[in-house]
Amino acid sequence: MKTKDDQNTLNELCVYGRQIVLEALRSACNVKNIWIAKNAAGKNIGQIKKLAKLKGVPIQYVNQNDLQKIVGAVVHQGAA
C-alpha cells in the first residue's frame, strides 16, 4: 500500500492481517503485492484472492516462516 506524505513523495507501507489486507484492496490504496501463506485458508483469504485477481494485484504464496521474516515479529494471520 502506498500513501503520500506532506512533501508529495511516496512511502511504501507493509500491512498484515487478513482484514486489513482485505480493506486495503477495497480502498483506493495502490496495493503493489500480496503475500499469502501457503497453508492459509478461510473466507477472508478467499475474498483477498478474488479481489486481488479482479484488481490485477499479484499474489505470492510463501511458507509461514518466510512470511514471518517479511513482516517481523507480529501476528500476520497468513496475509500481508
pLDDT bin (cut points 50, 70, 90) of residue 11 is confident
Q: Which of 15, 44, 45, 8 is nearest to 29 (CA)?
A: 15
- Is the per-residue pLDDT at 74 higher than 90? no
Cell of 15: 500491512
Do residues 34 and 60 make contact, with C-beta atoms less than 8 angstroms apart?
yes
Cell of 52: 486481488
Instruction: Give the β-pairing of 10-12 and 2-4.
Output: antiparallel
Residue 7 CA to residue 39 CA, distance in Å, equals 40
The whole-number pLDDT of residue 12 equals 80
- Is the per-residue pLDDT at 75 higher than 70? yes
